[in-house]
Amino acid sequence: LRTIVFGIIDSLVSTVGLLAGIDVAGAPHATLVLTGIVYAFVEGFSMASGDFVSEESAEEYASMSGVNSRPSLISAVMMFFSFVIASPVPLAPYLLLPAGTALVVSVSASVLVLFAVGVLSARFAHLPVVWRGARMALMITGAGGLALLAGFLLLGEIVGSYELSVVLASGDAVRAHPL
Q: What averages of pLDDT result for each successive group of 10 residues across the chain (179 residues)?
A: 88 88 82 92 91 85 76 90 94 89 90 92 89 86 78 87 85 81
At residue 142, the pLDDT reads 81
Closest CA to 141 of 51, 49, 20, 41: 20
At residue 78, the pLDDT reads 92
At residue 174, the pLDDT reads 81
Helix%, strand%, coil% for the chain, nearest 5: 85, 0, 15
Residue 162: phi and psi, rounded to 5, are -105, 10
* Cβ atoms 66, 60 nearer than 8 A: yes
At residue 173, the pLDDT reads 83
- Residues 37 and 119: their CA atoms lie apart, in Å, by 27
pTM: 0.72
First to last CA, the chain: 38
At residue 26, the pLDDT reads 79
- Residues 89 and 129: their CA atoms lie apart, in Å, by 22
